[in-house]
């Protein structure tokens, strides 16, 4: 895998030599060519997804055609090419000045921008290193600009994440939808179970941190571009806020986004999970009781609505559109293997904060005990023997 990007665009002899260097462990990953620039965005912006239910998941290799079809289904998409050329050039110049190139990544501009970026660890040195590692480990899926359209990307479902939307699923901060550093650390260490996103747990933690920083950088760049293009395209409807000044608009958006990332980074972790073991280290009696209460909550219409989307505990769940305009299915919770981790605290955050980009709502009104009860139930769900008998009968009739 590491050698693939290396080989493209080089002569074979040179590639083999370079590969040997990589495999022998010295030399580090190769830098980007100095004259390489980020591509000008030309794929459709998904501004609103249809409320109608999709018939099934998309087909490999058809992403752009599928997004183009969303308008006919009641969604709203827009072509970046509809932005007047003069605005587009101004915006592209701003993006280049603010974010540099793949070989010389930076987040710069006013002092507010540089200070905020430094606090987030987005310094040119770290981004340059992170970019090289990203090129080796992430680019084939997430793409040069973080558009999720790397060479392997379109053949994978769910598609690799398009970072340019600025939306993340497995977050514990609950503000602006941005992940805390600990969330990204978990995603990179353990991967996302049941998807193509691999676990990078065997790489040194420092390398994972650099790649996470680079993903944040691509997201900042891409979301600034996305929001400004969307506003420029909305001008026709008289609802834009660009006022003939895309650079001022983009700069303001960037500040807002940096603040969201900063707030997520400074959010303290959630409450520690209650102990489920008794003094002798055996599973507590109270735990089964908690699982049973969790089951009741799961089924309680109007209180949680879990069972509405996760029909028959997810076995019969129906497809829906996510914020990227691709198709997602409420998890089959009897199958186990949660994307965002199966520690009680992972499930606590999934339930408390929801999975916003996938349409799973937050549950701010539940007490902590109720959220833990739900987490305990969901964790026990794949294992019939861990369920209290009455609940087992309801989930696994006949067992
Ligand atoms: C083989 C393809 C593949 C590779 C390689 C890959 N990813 Fe992913 N990644 C995915 C897929 C697929 C998803 C989306 C899964 C989903 O949404 O269900 C994803 C999602 C993510 C997310 C979003 C998590 C969230 O909370 O929403 C981040 C961040 C991420 N990847 C970072 C990386 C980084 C950094 C690397 C390199 C170290 C990397 N990925 C390598 C396929 C890949
Ligand atoms: C409006 C629909 C909806 C409702 C209501 C809903 N979910 Fe979900 N849920 C989803 C979708 C969609 C996914 C899949 C997200 C993905 O794979 O990207 C999901 C995924 C999950 C996951 C898997 C997380 C992971 O890491 O893979 C768990 C656990 C979960 N839901 C629990 C619940 C619980 C508990 C409730 C009630 C408190 C609930 N859900 C209510 C739509 C919903």
192 C-beta closer than 6 A to ligand 1: yes
Check whether 69 has a pLDDT greater than 70: yes
Q: How confident is the model at residue 235 (pLDDT cuts 50, 70, 90)?
A: low
The residue with greater pLDDT, 56 or 148, is 148
CB neighbours of residue 51 within 10 Å:
10
Nearest CA to ligand 2 atom 43: 360
Distance between Cα 334 and ligand 2 center (Å): 12
Listed in sequence order, the residues at least 6 apart from 267 whose beta carbon sits closer than 8 Å to its beta carbon are 172, 173, 174, 175, 180
366 C-beta closer than 6 A to ligand 2: no
Distance between Cα 255 and ligand 2 center (Å): 31
Distance between Cα 203 and ligand 2 center (Å): 30
215 C-beta closer than 6 A to ligand 1: yes
158 C-beta closer than 6 A to ligand 1: yes
191 C-beta closer than 6 A to ligand 1: no
- To test the pocket of ligand 2, the residue of 298, 323, 355 to mutate (highest count of ligand atoms within 8 Å of its CB) is 355
Distance between Cα 160 and ligand 1 center (Å): 6
Check whether 4 has a pLDDT greater than 80: no
What does the pLDDT read at residue 199?
Answer: 98
- Measured from the Cα of 347, ligand 2's closest atom is 29
Check whether 370 has a pLDDT greater than 90: yes
Distance between Cα 133 and ligand 1 center (Å): 14
Nearest listed ligand to the Cα of residue 186: 1
* Mean pLDDT, residues 53-65 taken together: 88
Residue whose tokens read 């794929």: 43
How far is residue 153 CA from its own chain's centroid? 14
Q: What percent of the chain has pLDDT over 70?
A: 90
pLDDT, tens only, 295-306: 999 999 989 999
Residue 100 exposed, middle or buried by CB count within 10 Å (0-12, 13-18, 19+): buried
- To test the pocket of ligand 1, the residue of 141, 179, 223, 340 to mutate (highest count of ligand atoms within 8 Å of its CB) is 141
Listed in sequence order, the residues at least 6 apart from 203 whose beta carbon sits closer than 8 Å to its beta carbon are 137
Distance between Cα 196 and ligand 1 center (Å): 8
Nearest CA to ligand 1 atom 37: 138
- Measured from the Cα of 366, ligand 2's closest atom is 38
351 C-beta closer than 6 A to ligand 2: yes
Integer angstrom CA distances of residue 235 from 43, 77, 79, 186, 227: 19, 14, 14, 40, 12
Check whether 399 has a pLDDT greater than 50: yes
Distance between Cα 161 and ligand 1 center (Å): 6
182 C-beta closer than 6 A to ligand 1: no
What does the pLDDT read at residue 336?
Answer: 87
pLDDT, tens only, 248-272: 999 999 999 999 999 999 999 899 9
What does the pLDDT read at residue 213?
Answer: 98
pLDDT, tens only, 18-43: 444 444 445 678 889 999 999 999 99
Q: Contact 231/240 with Cβ under 8 angstroms?
A: yes
Q: Contact 179/170 with Cβ under 8 angstroms?
A: yes
Nearest listed ligand to the Cα of residue 197: 1
153 C-beta closer than 6 A to ligand 1: no
Question: Residue 45 and residue 77: Cα distance in Å, rounded?
Answer: 5
Instruction: Calculate the average pLDDT of the chain.
Output: 90
Instruction: Report, in angstroms and rounded to the nearest whole number, the Rg of the chain calculated over CA atoms.
Output: 23
pLDDT, tens only, 168-209: 999 998 666 899 999 999 999 999 999 999 999 999 999 999
- Measured from the Cα of 322, ligand 1's closest atom is 17
288 C-beta closer than 6 A to ligand 2: no
109 C-beta closer than 6 A to ligand 1: no
320 C-beta closer than 6 A to ligand 1: no
The residue with greater pLDDT, 53 or 12, is 53
The residue with greater pLDDT, 3 or 118, is 118
Check whether 333 has a pLDDT greater than 50: yes
Distance between Cα 156 and ligand 2 center (Å): 21
Check whether 283 has a pLDDT greater than 50: yes
């Amino acid at each position: 895998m590491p050698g693939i990007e290396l080989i493209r665009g080089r002569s074979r002899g040179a590639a083999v030599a370079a590969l040997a260097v990589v495999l022998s462990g010295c030399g580090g990953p190769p830098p980007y060519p100095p004259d390489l620039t980020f591509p000008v965005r030309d794929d459709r912006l998904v501004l609103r997804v249809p409320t109608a239910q999709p018939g099934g998941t998309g087909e490999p290799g058809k992403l752009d055609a599928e997004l183009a079809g969303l308008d006919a289904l009641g969604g709203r998409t827009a072509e970046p090419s509809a932005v007047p050329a003069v605005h587009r050039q101004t915006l592209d110049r701003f993006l280049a000045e603010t974010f540099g190139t793949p070989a010389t990544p930076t987040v710069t501009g006013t002092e507010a921008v540089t200070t905020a970026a430094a606090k987030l660890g987005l310094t040119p040195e770290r981004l340059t290193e992170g970019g090289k590692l990203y090129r080796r480990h992430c680019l084939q899926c997430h793409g040069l600009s973080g558009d999720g359209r790397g060479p392997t990307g379109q053949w994978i479902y769910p598609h690799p994440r398009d970072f340019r939307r600025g939306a993340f699923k497995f977050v514990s901060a609950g503000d602006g939808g941005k992940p805390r550093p600990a969330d990204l650390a978990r995603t990179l260490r353990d991967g996302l179970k049941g998807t193509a996103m691999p676990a990078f747990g065997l790489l040194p933690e420092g390398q994972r941190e650099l790649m996470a920083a680079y993903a944040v950088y691509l997201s900042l760049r891409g979301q600034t571009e996305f929001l400004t293009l969307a506003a420029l395209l909305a001008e026709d409807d008289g609802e834009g806020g660009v006022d003939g000044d895309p650079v001022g608009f983009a700069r303001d958006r960037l500040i807002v986004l940096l603040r969201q990332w900063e707030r997520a980074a400074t959010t303290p972790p959630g409450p520690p999970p209650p102990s489920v073991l008794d003094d002798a280290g055996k599973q507590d009696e109270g735990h089964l009781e908690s699982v049973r209460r969790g089951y009741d909550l799961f089924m309680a219409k109007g209180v949680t609505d879990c069972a509405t989307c996760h029909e028959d505990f997810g076995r019969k769940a129906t497809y829906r559109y996510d914020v990227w305009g691709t198709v997602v299915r409420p998890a089959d919770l009897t199958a186990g293997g949660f994307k965002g981790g199966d520690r009680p605290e992972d499930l606590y955050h999934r339930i408390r904060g929801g999975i916003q980009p996938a349409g799973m709502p937050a549950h701010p009104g539940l007490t902590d005990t109720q959220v833990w009860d739900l987490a305990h139930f969901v964790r026990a769900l794949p294992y019939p023997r861990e369920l209290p008998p009455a609940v087992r009968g309801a989930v696994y009739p006949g067992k």
